[in-house]
Amino acid sequence: MKTKLGLLILGLGLVFTLSCSKYPPTSDRLLEDLAILTQYDTKADFNSYKTYSLSTPVIQIKDDGNVPMTGATAEASLAQIDKNMQARGFVKVAASESPDLGIQVTYYQNTTVYAYYYDWWGYYPYYPYYYPVYYTTYTTGMANIELMDLKNATEDKRAAVRWNAFIRGLLTDTHTTSDVTTSIDQAFIQTPQLATTAK
């Protein structure tokens, strides 16, 4: 009887603990919310550029290393960048055709682990006291779009970044592909200077 009572209390306690393990508060998970930051080289004359190439595949940097990113999000990202660049007057060419600009897209994904524990648990004197620990995880992500000046690259092939966009809060499994493309559109909207009339 004592054994059954102890197991019942232990089981109820476990259910209570898991039900009280909440997702981290808003102040601890700002990265889940979408935020878009863009910056550009104010000295760059974008009318001096006409062509661009888009590097593939998209690179995904995760906790355990770098991998090529495939699937709907990657494809939609590249297509939306193409759409915006061409709407700004740029012409897409192959990397072998010496483009003026090169675009690289990188997604960063990070998993955060939270640990929850209570001061004690037990049914004295039938069970020893111990400190149970429960874990929960959540994932945050960020996209980085870099526009590099290949036209004026140095002899050792280093190219200055003329524009880049950081989209914070992606890859959390809470945002749709539409959120991704809308965020890319917003990044371009925030930089009307990124356009060309070069022939």
C-alpha 107 chain-centroid distance: 5
- In the chain, which ranges are continuous DSSP H helix? 2-19, 72-87, 177-189
Kindly report the pTM of this predicted structure: 0.69
Can you give the C-alpha Rg of the chain in angstroms?
A: 25
pLDDT (0 to 100) of residue 26: 42
* 69, 72, 74, 75 alpha-carbon torsion, rounded to 10°: 120
Structure tokens at 87: 């709407």
Report the chain's mean pLDDT, rounded to a whole number: 76
Least confident of 20-34, 53-67, 133-147: 20-34
35 pLDDT band, cuts 50/70/90, is confident
pLDDT for position 47: 96
Listed range (41-50, 61-70, 83-92) with the worst mean pLDDT = 61-70
Q: In order of start, what are the domains of the chain with their CATH numbers?
A: 2-189 (3.30.160.670)
Task: Identify the residue with better confidence: 191 or 127.
Answer: 191
